[in-house]
Amino acid sequence: MSSLATSYAMYFNRNYEHSGPVFTNRFHSILIENDPYFLKLSQYIYLNPVNAGMIKNPIDYPFSSIKEALGREPLTILDEDIVRLIGETAGSQKAYEQFIYDGLKTDLTEIERLFAKEPAIWGSNRFRVLAQKKYTRRVSKQNNA
């Protein structure tokens, strides 16, 4: 994502005679433990435009893949494995849609705090500790090289 954002910024600046940053914040990634954490994160992402006051219904946001996730549009952005995780039947897609809307009634600040951390790790305590140790070793090796 970082490479893509940098390439696009260079293209944009060159073609529109602009200089300086094109995007306000750098790309963040979150290491997640398993599918339930992934689904909760997708809920947060799909509800972001609603929580920002841009729209009232996440289906109405034109720059979202939610319609693909719910089987209302053909896959162009989402990977087939993600759709399999949600489920390919009408019933499972309806249940996922209800899960997304249920997020409007829940507190998503835990996920918001993840975007402020580096590295951002979301999962069980054991998973976070092991991932943090692995990250720390990798950074230490890079600094000693």
**Residue 58: what pLDDT?**
95
Sequence-ordered list of residues with C-beta below 8 angstroms from that of 65, at least 6 positions apart, any chain: 77, 78
**Residue 134: what pLDDT?**
83
Q: Contact 26/115 with Cβ under 8 angstroms?
A: no
Angle at 36 between CA 32 and CA 41, to 5 degrees: 60
**Residue 120: what pLDDT?**
81
Question: What is the enclosing helix (H) or strand (E) of 30?
Answer: strand 30-32
Counting as low any pLDDT under 70, the low residues of the chain are: 1, 25-28, 115-119, 138-145
**Residue 83: what pLDDT?**
80
**Residue 118: what pLDDT?**
65
Tell me which long-range contacts 2-5 makes (C-beta under 8 A, separation of at least 24): 2/26, 2/27
